[in-house]
Amino acid sequence: MSAIPFRPRRLRQSAAMRALVSQTRLHAAQLVLPVFVIEGEESRPISSMPGVLQHSLDSLRRAATQAAEAGISGLMIFGVPEHRDATGTGATDPNGILNRATAAVVQEVGDAVVISTDLCLDEFTDHGHCGVLDGEGRVDNDATLVRYAEMALAQAEAGSVLLGLSGMMDGQVAHVREALDEAGRTDVALLAYSAKYASAFYGPFREAVDSQLQGDRRAYQLDPANAREGLLEAALDVEEGADIVMVKPALPYLDVLRQVAESSPVPVWAYQVSGEYAMLEAAAANGWIAREAAIMESVTSIVRAGADAVLTYWAMELAEWTRR
């Protein structure tokens, strides 16, 4: 047999060798745990997201402590109010569930974990859209920006140090940054959901936040067919003052994630959304895939594509697995 000039298998022959030459590594500090908090004293399971809860304030405090102990770097808090209205007034109420929960978690863990909050109106409106509606039932971009600025100040006052602008309104980063700066809150960072697509993978999230959505969000979230549009949105958000940009969902948009990561001067994150979580959990529950291996592979692929951090509902388990 003639000599084989290259034998790449030499670097795959043992677990120790494979670990030594691994090009992508996961660790707990790259992870952000999204959490949902409801009013009342009892937490509730989310049927479409096995293992994920709608937390009470007490269980949220415990989850924050556990995340800090596990070495997870961040929490992203979503509030689920009991009462909603057309303009989402609960989002700016200091006693609203999101702002109360933020203050409680900050008191519990301090700066051991980066406390970030979802800055969007969809959980708080009775129509489920991410903004204020005009007389024709369409989302009014500029009227929504006013509400976002008010939300930003309320969330900063509650103790959030990183605001997740997920509404996909034009000019939202610049408008919120200006409002914060004018209020002397130059310390608060902005995470722009820059390339947020109108995805079918958000289904379980709608249950998690008890969404009241009527219609769809295709008039403001990105068309799944468009990659360059995601790059444009990220570039605009950086120009407007975003400290971090994000691609959402993660796995269906790894190509967009890679391109954003290659061009962005600021950190790039990705959100492994509820549908991605539910898909793998359902397949594993049916014995069709190896659960831990599939989860690890999915998050590794997101980091390999260029994500500096990943929002994932498996953050606690991943933190444990990466310590092995």
- Catalytic positions are 196, 248
Helix axes 254-263, 228-240, angle to 10 degrees: 40
Measured CA to CA in angstroms, residue 86 lies from 64, 133, 216, 300 at distances of: 31, 8, 16, 41
